Amino acid sequence: MRSVSRLGRDPAITHWIKLGHDPAYATEIGQLVEGGAVALSDGKRPIANAEIMWRALEYARMFDCAVFNTPQVPELVASGVMHEGYYSTLLGLPGIPSAAENIMVSRDIALAARTNGKLHLNAISTSVSVDLIRRARERGVQVSCDVTPHHLTLTDAELQSFESCYKVNPPLRPQSHIDALIAGLKDGTIEVISSDHQPWAAEKKDREIDLVPFGIVGLETLLPICIQSLIEPEHLTWPQLLSKLTTGPAKLLGIEKGTLADGADADITIIDPNIEWTIDPTQFKSRSRNTPFAGRQVKGRADVVLVNGEVRYQAASV
């Protein structure tokens, strides 16, 4: 498992974890936390072995940090390209069923309940996931989750274009799932919005859709797409949206970030909520251009970004 970020902890002991029977999953969780890890994850790879996940939750609990998992049953994802449903059948593309996510979400919640460990589920995308997490939280299970802007905006119908920029993991779902995700944001079931930033070189994405990798550039479109999907339809207020982009992630990771309180680090983003502009991938700071939002008219932009009080980014004038 990989460490996620920085954490100030001083555990009295260090545990060597041998999870399951695969030495590739042996991880010194105590030393990782002592070295600054704030959470444990295997990135976009699902932790498929239930025993490994169980032991990870048990040991991570000793250090009060969360285990992040991408909730997918690998065998059900396999060679899938898009959401399994009407459009995958229409287009003749291999599908990824909602059950691939729902089963893993259910399993991980059961393990978190059994171990009293902290669980975070990355990029949920189905209505069943939202319901399972909502009910688990009501029972006191320590489970959290995040959602991406593109899963709040785009449906699997976009794949009719066969454009590779719509191939993401988890796959884009029908509108009913988007509605459930938005409801989860509104009632607090989903406390974090993640960009799920996955840049790829042009030649990697300029191939047949079944051959290209999953993922899009997410950082530079995060704010305007959230505004368009959540603020303009009045699903969320500005304070609610900002909490899911700042204090929500900071709370999850146990770090003193995302606040303008006295003494806090001067990490500040200055937003112009009214500016209207067109998303142009050629103007991205990222060297990658794999976005499904090229040419979209949007409103709102991050104009200035300060890190520790120093200006690190300033938008060009429109």
pLDDT for residue 18 is more than 80: no
The answer to whether residue 56 sits within a structural domain is no
254: nearest Cα among 115, 122, 60: 60
Digit-coded pLDDT (tens) for 132-142: 999 999 999 99
Q: What 3-state DSSP class applies to 223?
A: helix
The answer to whether residue 255 sits within a structural domain is yes
Choose the weakest-confidence range: 29-33, 109-113, 242-246, 278-282.
Answer: 29-33
The answer to whether residue 276 sits within a structural domain is no
Q: In which band, very low, low, confident or very high, does the pLDDT at 317 lie, cut at 50, 70 and 90?
A: low
Segment 268-281 shows an average pLDDT of 96
Q: In which band, very low, low, confident or very high, does the pLDDT at 16 lie, cut at 50, 70 and 90?
A: very low
| Phi, psi (rounded to 5 degrees) for 94 | -60, 135
Segment 214-236 shows an average pLDDT of 97
Q: What 3-state DSSP class applies to 247?
A: helix
Count of CB atoms within 10 A of residue 292's CB? Answer: 22
pLDDT for residue 47 is more than 70: yes
159: nearest Cα among 77, 78, 229, 88: 88
The strand order across the sheet containing 268-278 reads 268-278, 297-307, 310-314
d(CA 230, CA 153): 9
pLDDT for residue 4 is more than 50: no
The answer to whether residue 28 sits within a structural domain is no
Concatenated DSSP letters for 16-59?
Answer: -B--TT-GGG-B-HHHHHHTT--EEE-TTS----HHHHHHHHHH
Segment 243-268 shows an average pLDDT of 93
Candidate list 196, 262, 265, 303, residue with the active-site label: 196
> Catalytic site residue 196?
yes
The answer to whether residue 169 sits within a structural domain is yes
Q: In which band, very low, low, confident or very high, does the pLDDT at 183 lie, cut at 50, 70 and 90?
A: very high
pLDDT given for residue 301 in this prediction:
94
List the domain range (segments joined by +) for residue 207.
70-260
pLDDT for residue 20 is more than 70: no
315 DSSP assignment: P
How many folded domains does the chain comprise? 1
The answer to whether residue 29 sits within a structural domain is no
The answer to whether residue 47 sits within a structural domain is no
- The pTM for the full model equals 0.90
Segment 171-180 shows an average pLDDT of 98
pLDDT for residue 25 is more than 60: no
In Å, how far are 6, 108, 192, 304, 309 from 261, measured between CA atoms? 20, 35, 20, 19, 14
CATH of the domain at 195: 3.20.20.140
The answer to whether residue 202 sits within a structural domain is yes
pLDDT for residue 156 is more than 60: yes
